[in-house]
A and B are shown apart, each in its own frame.
Chain A
């Protein structure tokens, strides 16, 4: 299956750590990439590969993977991290499905 499953919503207290997860069979073979999307804006790549951050992404963002689950961790969440987060991964057929997205609320 090429489907990726995410929790619809997660909340975190300001300054605390939050983990957003993504599950799918393809994650056993391929790494996920993670995207942050704020209202009215295009998505922004925040994590790709084993645990790589593009230039300009704060180091409080990190990624990990185990079995069929990929995780995005924000250590010390800030108010500006409130956004929708999407995972993506290729599958063996060459498709690149997205997860359903997780709405992160910073309390």
Chain B
């Protein structure tokens, strides 16, 4: 059974750095053609893809947020970590991690965590 679970602070102050952890089970981050993405959703707004990391350690970041994001993985702990620097109230959102599935001419998010709401406020 594949599961993903996000963890991290519920409240951060402006200018602080956010660190979120995605703990996965039911699959290994070291398996070939495996990956995890981070996706967020501000209250009442659309989904926004942030970053992904593949099992070969290939990484990709949202063009608009690239300077603030770092994604990494710890295969031994089955965890993927996302850091976002210089947090601002507009970064208030539910943050999801999702497993990446691979297909011909397509990637997709086949399993999602429940999400964690992060509020940015002083």
Contacts and interface: CB of A to CB of B under 8 A. Distances in A.
A30 B60 contact: no
A90 B101 CA distance: 12
Given A43-B109, A45-B108, A49-B103, A86 B47 contact: yes
Contacts of B114: 42
A35 B49 contact: no
B13 to A, nearest CB: 27
B69 to A, nearest CB: 12
A75 to B, nearest CB: 21
A33 B47 contact: no
A44 B48 CA distance: 15
Contact of B47 (A43, A48, A89, A90): A43
Given A86-B46, A96-B37, A100-B46, A42 B112 contact: yes
A44 B114 CA distance: 11
A29 interface: yes
**Ranked 7 nearest A-B pairs via Cβ:** A33-B108, A48-B108, A94-B60, A31-B106, A98-B47, A42-B112, A96-B49
A2 interface: yes
B83 to A, nearest CB: 19
B106 to A, nearest CB: 4
Nearest to B52: A96
A54 B46 contact: no
